[in-house]
Amino acid sequence: MFEISVNGKTTTADVEPDTPLLWVLRDTLHLTGTKFGCGVSACGACTVHIDGDPVRSCSIAIEDVVGSDITTIEGLAENTLTAVQLAWIEEQVPQCGYCQSGMIMSVSAFLKENPNPTDDDIDASITNICRCGTYPRIRKAIHNAAKKQGGQ
Amino acid sequence: MGKFKLTRRKFLVAGALAGGGLAIGYGFKTDDPDNAALSASTSEGEIALNAWIKIDTKGIVTVAIPRSEMGQGIYTALAMLVAEELDADFETIRVEQAPIDDVYANVTVLQDALPFSDKFHDGEDTIGAAGMANVAGLLGVQATGGSTSVRDAWIPMRQAGATAKSMLVTAAARTWKVSPDECSVENGVISHSRTNKSGGFGEFVIKAASETVPLSNNLKNQDNYKLIGKPVYRLDIPEKVNGAAVFGIDITLPDMAYAAVKLCPVFGGKVASYEEKAVVELPGVLKVVAFETGVAVIADSFWRAKTAVENLPVIFESGEAVSTSSDQIIDLLTQSVGNDDARTYSEIGDATSALSSAPNKITATYTVPYLAHACLEPMNCTAKVTETGVEVWMPNQAPTLVKWFAEKIADVPAENIKVHTTLLGGGFGRRAEIDLVLMAVTIAKSLKNRPVKLVWTRENDIQHDMYRPAAVSQFHAALGADGKIEAWKNRIVSQSVSGSFTARLIPWATMDVPDNTTSEGAADIPYEFTNRLVDHVPVTLPIPVGFWRSVGHSYNGFFTESFMDEAAFAAKQDPIEFRLAHLRDNQDFTAVLQKAKEVSNWSSPLPAGKGRGVALHESFGSIVAQVAEVSVDDEKVVTIDKVYCVIDCGTVVNPDTVVAQMEGGIIFGLSAALFGEITIENGQVVNENFPDYDMIRLANAPEIETFLAPSGRRLGGVGEPGTPPIAPAVTNAIFAATGDRVRTLPLTKSGYSA
At a CB cut-off of 8 Å and minimum separation 6, what does B339 contact? Answer: B493, B537
CA dist B147 and B21 (Å) reads 7
> B511 pLDDT band (50/70/90 cuts)?
low
Above 60 in pLDDT, residue B3? no
Above 70 in pLDDT, residue A33? yes
- Mean pLDDT of the region B675-682: 98
Contacts of B424 in chain A (CB under 8 A): 96
Percent of chain B at pLDDT above 70? 91
Above 90 in pLDDT, residue B230? yes
Specify the higher pLDDT residue, B511 or B528. Answer: B528
Q: Which residues pair with B16 in a beta bridge?
A: none
- Mean pLDDT of the region B142-157: 91
Mean residue pLDDT of chain B comes to 91
What's the pLDDT tens digit per position in A119-139? Answer: 999 999 999 999 999 999 999
Are residues B644 and B635 in contact, defined by beta-carbon separation less than 8 angstroms? no
The residue of chain B nearest to residue A95, with distances taken between CA atoms, is: B71
Above 70 in pLDDT, residue B256? yes
> What's the confidence (pLDDT) of residue A59?
98
Alpha carbon of B612 to those of B290, B366, B640, B643, B733: distances in Å? 54, 21, 10, 10, 4
> B568 pLDDT band (50/70/90 cuts)?
very high
The residue of chain B nearest to residue A132, with distances taken between CA atoms, is: B664
CB contact under 8 A, B243 and A124: no
CB contact under 8 A, B237 and A89: yes
- Mean pLDDT of the region B573-592: 96
Above 80 in pLDDT, residue B500? yes
CA dist B488 and B509 (Å) reads 36
Instruction: Mutate one of A46, A131, A134 to test the B interface: name it (highest B CB count within 10 A).
Output: A131
> What's the confidence (pLDDT) of residue A78?
85
Instruction: Mutate one of B376, B668, B690 to test the A interface: name it (highest A CB count within 10 A).
Output: B376
> What's the confidence (pLDDT) of residue B113?
57
> What's the confidence (pLDDT) of residue B29?
44
Please state at what angle helix B655-674 crosses helix B553-570, rounded to 10 degrees: 80
pTM comes to 0.94
Least confident of B116-125, B386-395, B590-599: B116-125
Are residues B371 and B676 in contact, defined by beta-carbon separation less than 8 angstroms? yes
Q: Which residues pair with B364 in a beta bridge?
A: B475
> What's the confidence (pLDDT) of residue B111?
65
Question: Domain map of chain A by residue range?
Answer: 2-75, 83-148
Above 70 in pLDDT, residue B604? yes
Pick the CATH number of A2-75 from 3.40.80.10, 3.40.50.620, 3.10.20.30, 3.30.450.20: 3.10.20.30
> What's the confidence (pLDDT) of residue B15?
36
Instruction: Mutate one of A15, A32, A76, A98 to test the B interface: name it (highest B CB count within 10 A).
Output: A98
Cis? peptide before B542, omega within 30° of 0: no
Look at phi and psi of residue B2 and say left if phi exceeds 0, alpha if psi is from -120 to 50, else beta.
left
Specify the higher pLDDT residue, B38 or B448. Answer: B448
- Mean pLDDT of the region A48-58: 98
> What's the confidence (pLDDT) of residue B138?
54
Q: Which residues pair with B198 in a beta bridge?
A: B191
Closest of B618, B587, B574, B748 to residue B674, by C-alpha:
B748
Are residues B645 and B626 in contact, defined by beta-carbon separation less than 8 angstroms? yes
> What's the confidence (pLDDT) of residue B506?
78
> B629 pLDDT band (50/70/90 cuts)?
very high
Are residues B149 and B67 in contact, defined by beta-carbon separation less than 8 angstroms? yes
CA dist B397 and B391 (Å) reads 17
CA dist B673 and B79 (Å) reads 35
DSSP B242: S
At A92, give phi and psi (nearest 5°).
Answer: 50, 55
- Mean pLDDT of the region B686-712: 97
Contacts of B242 in chain A (CB under 8 A): 33, 73-74, 76-77, 81, 85
Indicate the fold that domain A83-148 takes in CATH: DNA polymerase; domain 1 (1.10.150)
CB contact under 8 A, B698 and A81: no
Side by side, the strands of the sheet bearing A47-50 are: A9-13, A2-6, A69-71, A47-50, A53-56
- DSSP letters of B294-338? EEEEEESSHHHHHHHHHT--EEEE--GGGG--HHHHHHHHHHHTT
Contacts of B663 in chain A (CB under 8 A): 133-137
The CB density around residue B196, as the number of other CB atoms within 10 Å, is: 7
> What's the confidence (pLDDT) of residue B110?
67
> B569 pLDDT band (50/70/90 cuts)?
very high
Contacts of B301 in chain A (CB under 8 A): 15, 19, 23, 27-28
Largest CA distance in chain B: 83
Burial class (CB in 10 A: 0-12, 13-18, 19+), B477: buried
At a CB cut-off of 8 Å and minimum separation 6, what does B746 contact? Answer: B369, B672, B673, B674, B675, B676, B677
CB contact under 8 A, A133 and B244: no
Among the partner residues A33, A95, A130, nearest to B244 by beta-carbon distance: A33
- Mean pLDDT of the region B261-276: 97
Above 60 in pLDDT, residue B435? yes
CB contact under 8 A, A43 and B240: no
Above 90 in pLDDT, residue B743? yes
> What's the confidence (pLDDT) of residue B101?
87
CB contact under 8 A, B664 and A133: yes
- Mean pLDDT of the region B341-364: 96
Are residues A109 and A101 in contact, defined by beta-carbon separation less than 8 angstroms? no
Above 50 in pLDDT, residue B228? yes
Q: For the CA atoms of chain B, what is the radius of gyration?
A: 27
What's the pLDDT tens digit per position in B158-177? Answer: 999 999 999 999 999 999 99
Percent of chain B at pLDDT above 90? 83
> What's the confidence (pLDDT) of residue B9?
31
Among the partner residues A36, A98, A139, nearest to B426 by beta-carbon distance: A98
> B37 pLDDT band (50/70/90 cuts)?
confident
Mapping DSSP onto H, E and C, the string for B345-378 reads: EEEECCHHHHHHCCCCEEEEEEEECEECCCCCCC
